Structure 1
Amino acid sequence: MDIRLLRYFLATANEGNITHAAKTLHITQPSLSKQLQELEAELKTTLFIRGKRKITLTEEGIILRKRSEEIISLMEKTQQEINSEKTNLSGTITIGGNPNNSVLQAAANFHKQYPAVNFQFYSSDATDITELLEHGYLDFAVLLSPIDTLKYDFIQLPDTALWGIYIKKDHFLATNSYITKDDLLSVPIIMHKRAQLQRDIALWAKTDLQSFNIAATCNIVPCNSMQNVVKSDLGVLLSSAYSTDNYEYGDICFRPLEPKLELNFALIWKRNMLMSPLAKEFLKHSFHNI
């Protein structure tokens, strides 16, 4: 498949209009239409639902859009790595997961020394992050321990996540300084869907997951739209906070678990991966003392 066709497809998908996409690409509309038809014929599927003024993607088109973005990004990243010289570092370092304090500070220091280097942070759930890491779209990822050491090399970061619940300040548990197992079992909870994190909670409580009233799950720690989730009264949000955080967030508060449950963050990368000079230098420059 020609990479040029993927660029044409992405431009059309992003614009939602073939005429506008053709102007962006500096080609004629008939030429772009023909190229898109050839792409559909090559893939033996329909990628667009063509309306009078706007086109939308079919299910197959949505899949191709995601993969095209990854392929083009990977190609551009590879070109940067090949053309990069250590004495004049430039390009993009991609980091997935939760860019915590130590990683953000490392990025800031590295950018000061190498202004032509920029960073791209990608936030999603652990499954998506590790898939992107496997396919070379990401250089590094920041995940909560434990780490699959058969697949990944890693550096333990000084940042830790203290587990507890986010609740409204008028919730009856807000008067507590900490949350016990019995407290947690007495209310509906919203928790992360990652199986390992769920097992950690069950081990902490010395019970099985079925004992909890799990009202919902989410895929990012802390969950996006935290305040909206907590204010919904669907359940208390079982998640994490940095140990140094202020535990008050407007009319939302955080109460840590007791006994304390604290997990470490790790910077991970694919084991036996041919690391780019840029990624190697970032690792050496930023984390040699850890």
Structure 2
Amino acid sequence: MEIRVLRYFLAVAKAESISKAASLLNISQPTLSRQLMNMEEELGKSLFIRGNRKITLTEEGKFLRIRAQEIIDLIDKTQSEFNTSNEIISGDIYIGGGETDAIRIIAKCAHSLQKKYPNIRYHLFSGNGDDVTDKLDKGLIDFGIVIEPFDLSKYDFIRIPQKDTWGLLMKKESPLASKDFIEPSDLLNIPIITSSQRLVESEISKWFGKDLSELNIVATYNLVYNASLLVDEGMGYALCLDKLINTTGDSNLCFRPLYPPLEASLNIIWKKYQVFSRASETFLRHLQENLNN
């Protein structure tokens, strides 16, 4: 399967039309149609449902679209690294992370490094631990920021000295807002919005002393900003980390830490035996120096 044909496939999937895609790719429509038919024959699967007005993807086509985009992204990333000058440190650094205030450490490091190497570009991806490691394992990002609990056995890592604090996000008018901290008994009989990650659920269960199934869980979230909107609409209380949602000024929300305190350690991870670009290697060295200081 040729890379060029994968790009053709993605163009058609996006345009939902062979004629429109052919025009964008600057090739003839019969040529594009033939390339796509050859791809389907090679894979032994139908990738498109060809309608009168538009083309849609079959289930196999949707799967290929995800894989094709990952392949193209990795190829473009690799080509960019090879095109980087050997004399000037430049290029692209891809960093994925969960929602955490620790991204400030990355920001400070990148900002100070930018003064010396202005041609380095940074690309940030936000997602939970599963999303980050999936992209890291596929080579689509260079570094990941993950929140413990997390299985670090597959990765090299640097432990970040600061920790994040778990607590409850709620409306300022909520009865629990009058408390300085939240105890396990406070979670009973209130609607709870919690993280969808299994390891996080396990950690909170240990703190709670019972299985979370005993709570009234009304929703789960992947990214806490969306959960905060549910809280703001009065749907429930969100178990989340501190400093991720603005609770100052005119905000309708407030945050109260859990007690006994539940803190989360943070790590910057990368694949073992990773071969870095000069830009990524420079960034990692600068980050290690900053953390050691």
Q: Any gaps of 5 or more consecutive residues in structure 2?
A: none
Cα deviation per residue 1:226-268 (whole Å; 9 max; x = unaligned)? 332213444311111239x753362122222122222122111
**2: distance between equivalents of 1:44 and 1:120?**
37
**CA distance in 1: counterparts of 2:254 and 2:285, whole angstroms:** 39
Alpha carbons of 1:254 and 1:117: their partners in 2 closer, same or farther (altered >3 Å)? same
Partner of 1:131: 134
Q: Deviations over 1:92-149 (max 9, x none)?
A: 1111123711112222333333232212112222212212111211101111123423
In the alignment, which of 176, 189, 199 is matched to residue 179 of structure 2? 176
| SS class of match (2:180) | coil
- Aligned with residue 103 of structure 1, among 106, 111, 114: 106
Aligned to 1:268: 269
- CA–CA distance in 1 between the matches of 2:113 and 2:43? 43
* Cα deviation, residue 284, structure 1: 0.5
Which has the larger displacement, 183-192 or 246-255?
246-255
**Given that residues 90 and 119 in structure 2 are in contact (C-alpha distance below 8 angstroms), is that contact kept between their aligned partners in structure 1?**
yes
Structure 1 regions of 5+ residues with no counterpart? none
Contact persistence 2:149–2:203 (CA under 8 A): no
Deviations 1:187-226 (A, max 9, x none): 1211112222112212222333333332222223xx2323
Distance 2:150 2:199 in 1: 10
Give the TM-score of the pair, scaled to structure 2. 0.89
Once the two structures are TM-superposed, the CA of residue 50 in structure 1 deviates from its matched residue by 2.1
Alignment of 1:1-290 (within 5 A): 1-85=1-85, 87-98=87-98, 100-220=103-223, 223-242=224-243, 247-248=247-248, 250-290=251-291
Farther off after superposition, 109-118 or 267-276: 109-118
Contact 1:145–1:265 (8 Å) recurs in 2:
yes
**TM-score, scaled relative to structure 1:** 0.90
* Residues 101, 159 of structure 1: 8 Å contact kept: no
The residue type paired with residue 95 of structure 1 is: I
Write out per-residue CA displacement over residues 34-90 of structure 1, whole angstroms, 9 at most, x where no aligned residue: 111111111111222222332222221111111111111111222222333453122
Contact 1:97/1:141 (<8 A) preserved: yes
| Equivalent position SS for 1:164 | strand
1:46 counterpart SS class: coil
Q: Give me the whole-angstrom Cα distance separating, in 1, the residues matched to 2:60 and 2:111.
A: 40
Q: Using the aligned pairs only, state the percent identity.
A: 41
For the residue of structure 2 that corresponds to 1:19, the secondary structure is: helix
